[in-house]
């Protein structure tokens, strides 16, 4: 037998002839101890064969241990290929790989080169003579035997540590890519004169690299010193001046000098970091930072250079006193110049005259904060337009009628209350749920611009009965939600329920919306989590039919999901999902497609983890009937110099842009990242890094573009800053004499909360037609009256423009909480609310809306009545406020009629008046007819006719009451 042939036949040959015994290698001979027989046979195997067996075992172990990683890598590649962003995937992977090798090899070279030099120049070890202490005896024995294994051990240690260092450093892929692809902001900081792009894109990597280099060199210095000691080149038992060999002193001195130079570099970066200082009254380098801390850093940098020179110079001298004196000097300078001196300046120079000292730096903070949050309202770079709003009290009914489009879109249904109604009225099956209700707008009846409340009906598999949550039901049968529900924000039935424009399963609409839901299936949504398989051999449930258990079984017609046509793909996904059933299920066919990462936020962030997603995605319908999700995505940073910090989604930021709109198809999961702000340097940088990631806004289809809206969370962040940073004068800003606060309202059960920004369709002052805006009212801090309201425009071509409407000086305008007080003081309203609350139901007070009409302000608040079981809110009353007057009626139209009355206008066509002798039946018929005509006039916005019809209905009801009362007399 050749020497390299492994004796498999002898290892596994049975010993008997009945085939029932163990292979000979595993059987113990008589008289042998356990394991001795195996050991003898193993010892007979040739060394080369043992190496082959060992390699095979190691490879198998590596494959088993890396199976999870390999399956994740492979399935991620398949997923990126599905969504069309493999270039993003490979860019990230390739960058991580070369970073792993670059940092790992650099660390290995630094570490092992110093280890090699320490071993190369080590003198031959000579055993010391005389009596040795126990410690010296142990060190001596180690030194005598070290050469046998220490070299290999140090090499292995260097490789292992370098591997760890490379693995950790690969996580810096994003900072490295931004460093090499940075974009200039076109604006420099006022202290060092560097472009802001340096701080946002280059500074983070430089901080990491200098910290990495400093830590690595300190580690190498320690390891090198230990090796010198172990090999006897450092001997603390020797006489003075002989403890360090000459080559050791040279080696350690050079390393220490390099470390000090790196530390000088770190001090320079710390100096630049003063642009984010919080020492002064605002964020940014303050008077003390500029006049005390920066000079201290320059002194420390000089001290590091001097000390590094002392280490190099000390090579020619004995001992370490000279460089150690330099190190002590650095510590002393750090304590005195870097810590004590700035404290003295801050307390004894700045505080006594803080405003005069800090005026320049407060001005920088105002300028850069306004720029970072896009809230400038003065100068050439102004983003917010400031206009005066008269807030007159001369509004007429004719003006109300002339603004019918605004009145018709006053939001009576609060999205939070509407969500509860949708759940109770339109879930229809236990598996379906509505995550929330979103505000959008559609053009109905060809030309009526209408605000809508929209929500997708998603499938939540956890709501299926526990005993029915089988693997087949979870992954093959119940795969998707179905359709959406849509209702106008201001219409209600006579019972106080919303009027559904789209409802039921399958979706139906009784009006002309201009669009129809052609693809109602929701495979990708806000509430979807687990993977599903379509085109399988199992019955996929589309939706349950009414009153039967019969199910509609569709065949998925889209291209969503990953084909799992071969065994390798099925194996990879089985390992990734820890789901062996998927591998062996007979329902998986060659045409099957696996959908995972179906949660739209996870889907969007997987491709672009550097974006921050808005908390409120919303669903819309395209002209061809497809349902698509729109997600607002933000570019943020916390490295914008002199900008004030703000917490946003649990992270502190001082710069934000809504530069990207992510659109995801609910049926096939297609993801498109539209770049809506190409002037944003952060988005531009990521565009350089990933050239195939962003799609220009110009390529967005018009049927999607008209549903874009200004994000509520972005507006809230901007207004949080603007309530202070609308002050442009430094002295006024310092004194905080004109700080605002968001107006408050009484919400639900007498809870006082800040008003949340709300979408509304209205005609802005000076504009020709209605548009959707996002608005928010403000009060002076600590005062109840309103001082300003700010609107963000949502419709193109004015999308993204902000307008601040201020009131004339000396004009006192009621704030929302003052309106709430007038409501509470109204005896009729208070009595009605008390009565409802005592009858087993609860009254819910909706949002207080401030509605600009012409040059006046209306206040509108809906009242909902909610039964205890089931808890379905119904809109029962609408409260309207104007000036100090309050009216409450069942509908908005009636409340406006009561508030303003019917002013003279075009006379409606005369209607036949009921005869006094008419009987009860005739009067009832006439009342129904007049009521229907009034409702028709209301829907068409004909307020004059509506008022006339209401008066006529009142006369009919009075006559009816007289006829009914006559028999009783």
Tell me the per-residue pLDDT of 8-29, one tens digit each, with 9 for 90 and over.
444 444 444 444 454 454 455 5
Burial track 891-920 (b if 16+ CB lie within 10 A, e otherwise):
bbbbbbbebbebeeeeebeeeeebeeebee
Of the pLDDT bands very low, low, confident and very high (cuts 50, 70, 90), residue 715 is: very high
Summarize pLDDT for 169-187 with one digit per residue, the tens.
999 999 999 999 999 999 9
Summarize pLDDT for 55-65 with one digit per residue, the tens.
888 777 777 77
Concatenating the DSSP letter of every residue in 584-632 gives H-TT--TT-EEE---BHHHHHHHH-TTSEE-S--EEEE-TTSBEEEEEE
User: Which tokens in the block code for residue 90?
Assistant: 């490979």
Encode 202-246 in three state secondary structure: HHHHHHHHHHHHHHHHHHHHHHHHHHHHHCCCECCCCCCCCCECH
- pLDDT of 294 above 80: yes
Residues 6+ apart with CB under 8 A from 5: 49
Summarize pLDDT for 437-486 with one digit per residue, the tens.
999 999 988 788 999 999 999 999 888 888 888 999 999 999 999 999 99
Concatenating the DSSP letter of every residue in 281-336 gives SSSS--HHIIIIIHHHHHHHHHHHHHHHHHHHHGGGSSSSHHHHHHHHHHHHHHHI
Please compute, for residue 722, the number of CA atoms within 13 A of its CA located in the half-sphere on the CB side.
Answer: 29
Collapsed DSSP state (helix, strand, coil) of residue 179: helix
- Count other C-beta atoms under 10 Å from residue 879's C-beta: 24
Summarize pLDDT for 559-604 with one digit per residue, the tens.
999 999 899 999 999 999 989 999 999 899 989 999 999 999 999 9
Cα–Cα distance, 945 to 926 (Å, whole number)? 17
Mean pLDDT of 718-736: 94
Cα–Cα distance, 393 to 885 (Å, whole number)? 11
26 contacts 38 by C-beta, under 8 angstroms: yes
811 contacts 781 by C-beta, under 8 angstroms: no
Residues 6+ apart with CB under 8 A from 306: 326, 329
- pLDDT of 695 above 70: yes
Backbone region of residue 625 per phi and psi (left: phi > 0; alpha: psi in -120 to 50; beta: other values): left
- pTM of structure: 0.84
541 contacts 474 by C-beta, under 8 angstroms: no
Encode 666-734 in three state secondary structure: CCCCCEEEEECCCCCHHHHHHHHHCCCCEEEHHHCCHHHHCCCCCCHHHHHHHHHHHHHHCCCCHHHHH
- Bond into 870 cis (ω within 30): yes
pLDDT of residue 571: 93
Residue of higher predicted confidence among 848 and 65: 848
Point out which residues pair with 656 in neighbouring strands: 636
Mean pLDDT of 745-749: 81
User: Which tokens in the block code for residue 499?
Assistant: 């009027």
Choose from 248-257, 404-413, 443-452, 717-726 the range with maximum mean pLDDT: 717-726
pLDDT of residue 872: 85
Sort 335 into a burial class: Cβ within 10 Å, 0-12 / 13-18 / 19+. exposed
As a whole-number percent, the residues of the chain with pLDDT over 70 amount to 84
Summarize pLDDT for 382-435 with one digit per residue, the tens.
889 999 999 999 898 888 988 888 998 999 999 988 998 998 888 888 889 999
Of the pLDDT bands very low, low, confident and very high (cuts 50, 70, 90), residue 620 is: very high
Cα of 425 vs its chain's centroid, Å? 31
888 contacts 878 by C-beta, under 8 angstroms: yes
Cα–Cα distance, 763 to 400 (Å, whole number)? 12
Of the pLDDT bands very low, low, confident and very high (cuts 50, 70, 90), residue 968 is: very low
Q: Which residue, chain included where needed, has tokens 């220009």?
A: 696
Distances (CA, A) of 661 to 67, 442, 484, 705, 759: 37, 19, 21, 10, 19
Distances (CA, A) of 417 to 412, 751, 870, 889: 10, 15, 14, 20
Pairing mode of beta strands 438-444, 448-456: antiparallel
pLDDT of residue 74: 94
Angle between helix 86-120 and 47-83 (nearest 10): 140
Q: Which residue, chain included where needed, has tokens 């241990």?
A: 65
Picking from 692, 687, 655, 612, the residue whose alpha carbon sits closest to that of residue 178 is: 687
Cα of 217 vs its chain's centroid, Å? 38
Summarize pLDDT for 862-891 with one digit per residue, the tens.
999 887 777 788 899 999 999 999 999 999
- Count other C-beta atoms under 10 Å from residue 493's C-beta: 11
Sort 407 into a burial class: Cβ within 10 Å, 0-12 / 13-18 / 19+. buried
Cα of 883 vs its chain's centroid, Å? 41
């Amino acid at each position: 037998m050749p020497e390299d042939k492994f004796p498999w036949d002898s290892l596994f040959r049975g010993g008997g002839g009945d085939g029932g015994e163990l292979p000979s290698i595993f059987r113990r001979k008589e008289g042998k101890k356990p394991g001795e027989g195996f050991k003898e046979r193993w010892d007979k195997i040739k060394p080369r064969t043992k190496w082959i067996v060992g390699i095979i075992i190691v490879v198998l172990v590596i494959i088993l241990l890396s199976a999870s990683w390999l399956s994740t890598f492979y399935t991620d590649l398949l997923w990126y290929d599905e969504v069309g962003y493999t270039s993003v995937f490979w860019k990230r992977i390739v960058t991580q790989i070369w970073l792993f090798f670059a940092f790992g090899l650099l660390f290995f070279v630094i570490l092992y080169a110093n280890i090699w030099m320490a071993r190369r120049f080590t003198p031959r070890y000579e055993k010391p003579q005389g009596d040795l202490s126990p410690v010296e005896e142990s060190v001596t024995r180690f030194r005598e035997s070290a050469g046998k294994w220490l070299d290999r051990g140090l090499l292995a240690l260097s490789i292992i540590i370098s591997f760890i260092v490379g693995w950790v450093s690969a996580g810096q892929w994003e900072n490295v890519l931004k460093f090499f692809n940075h974009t200039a902001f076109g604006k420099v900081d006022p202290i060092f004169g560097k472009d802001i792009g340096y701080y946002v894109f280059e500074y983070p990597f430089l901080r990491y690299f200098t910290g990495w280099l400093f830590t690595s060199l300190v580690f190498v210095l320690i390891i090198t010193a230990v090796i010198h000691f172990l090999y006897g080149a450092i001997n603390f038992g020797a006489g003075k001046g002989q403890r360090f060999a000459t080559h050791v002193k040279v080696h350690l001195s050079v390393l220490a000098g390099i470390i000090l130079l790196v530390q000088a570099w770190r001090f320079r970066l710390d100096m630049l970091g003063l642009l984010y200082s919080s020492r002064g009254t605002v964020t940014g380098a303050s008077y003390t930072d500029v006049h005390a801390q920066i000079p201290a850093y320059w002194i420390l940098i000089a001290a590091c250079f001097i000390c590094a020179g002392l280490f190099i110079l000390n090579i020619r001298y004995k001992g370490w006193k000279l460089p150690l004196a330099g190190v002590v000097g650095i510590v002393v300078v750090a304590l005195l110049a870097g810590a004590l001196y700035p404290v003295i300046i801050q307390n004894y120079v700045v505080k006594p005259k803080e405003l005069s000292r800090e005026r320049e730096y407060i001005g920088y903070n105002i300028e850069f904060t306004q720029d970072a949050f896009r809230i400038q309202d003065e100068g050439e770079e102004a983003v917010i337009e400031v206009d005066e709003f008269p807030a007159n009290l001369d509004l007429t009914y004719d003006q109300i009628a002339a603004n019918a489009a605004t009145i018709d879109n006053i939001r009576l249904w609060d999205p939070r209350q509407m969500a509860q109604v949708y759940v109770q009225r339109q879930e229809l099956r236990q598996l379906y749920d509505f995550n929330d209700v979103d505000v959008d707008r559609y053009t109905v009846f060809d030309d009526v611009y209408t605000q809508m409340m929209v929500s997708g009906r998603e499938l939540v598999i956890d709501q299926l009965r526990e005993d029915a949550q089988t693997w087949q039901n979870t992954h093959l049968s119940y795969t998707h939600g179905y359709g959406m529900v849509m209702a106008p924000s201001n219409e209600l039935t006579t019972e106080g329920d919303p009027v559904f424009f789209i409802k039921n399963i399958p979706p139906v609409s009784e009006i002309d919306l201009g669009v129809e839901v052609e693809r109602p299936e929701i495979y990708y949504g806000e509430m979807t989590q687990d993977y599903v398989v379509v085109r399988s051999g199992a019955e996929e449930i589309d939706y349950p039919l009414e009153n039967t258990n019969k199910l509609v079984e569709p065949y998925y017609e889209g291209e969503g999901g990953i084909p799992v046509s071969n065994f390798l793909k099925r194996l990879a996904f089985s390992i990734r999902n820890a789901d062996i059933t998927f591998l062996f299920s007979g329902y998986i066919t060659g045409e099957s497609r696996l959908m995972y990462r179906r949660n739209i936020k996870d889907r969007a962030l997987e491709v672009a983890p550097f974006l921050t997603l808005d908390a409120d995605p919303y669903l819309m319908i395209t002209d061809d009937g497809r349902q698509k999700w729109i997600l607002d995505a933000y570019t943020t940073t916390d490295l914008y110099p002199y900008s004030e910090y703000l917490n946003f989604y649990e992270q502190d930021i001082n710069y934000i842009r809504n530069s990207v709109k992510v659109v995801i198809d609910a049926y096939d999961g297609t993801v498109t990242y539209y770049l809506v702000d190409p002037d944003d340097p952060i988005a531009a940088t990521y565009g350089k890094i990933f050239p195939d990631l962003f799609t220009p806004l110009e390529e967005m289809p018009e049927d999607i573009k008209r549903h874009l809206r200004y994000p509520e969370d972005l507006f809230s962040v901007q207004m949080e800053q603007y309530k202070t940073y609308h002050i442009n004068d430094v002295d006024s800003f310092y004194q905080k004499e004109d700080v605002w606060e968001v107006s408050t309202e009484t919400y639900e059960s007498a809870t006082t909360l800040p008003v949340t920004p709300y979408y509304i369709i209205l005609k802005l002052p000076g504009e020709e037609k209605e548009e959707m805006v996002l608005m928010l009212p403000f009060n002076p801090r600590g005062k109840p009256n309103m001082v300003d309201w700010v609107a963000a425009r949502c419709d193109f071509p004015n999308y993204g423009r902000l307008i601040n409407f201020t009131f004339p000086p000396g004009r006192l305008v009621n704030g929302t909480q003052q309106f709430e007080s007038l409501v509470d003081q109204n005896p009729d309203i208070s009595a009605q609310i008390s009565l409802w609350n005592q009858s087993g139901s609860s009254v819910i007070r909706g949002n207080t809306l401030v509605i600009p009409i012409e040059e006046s302000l209306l206040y509108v608040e809906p009242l909902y009545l909610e039964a205890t079981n089931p808890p379905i809110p119904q809109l029962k009353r609408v409260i309207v406020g104007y000036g100090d007057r309050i009216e409450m009626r069942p509908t908005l139209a009636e409340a406006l009629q009561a508030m303003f009355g019917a002013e003279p206008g075009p006379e409606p066509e005369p209607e036949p008046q009921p005869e006094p002798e008419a009987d009860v039946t005739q009067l009832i018929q006439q009342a129904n007819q007049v009521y229907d005509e009034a409702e028709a006039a209301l829907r068409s916005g004909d307020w004059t006719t509506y008022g006339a019809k209401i008066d006529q209905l009142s006369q009919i009801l009075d006559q009816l009451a007289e006829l009914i009362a006559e028999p009783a007399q």
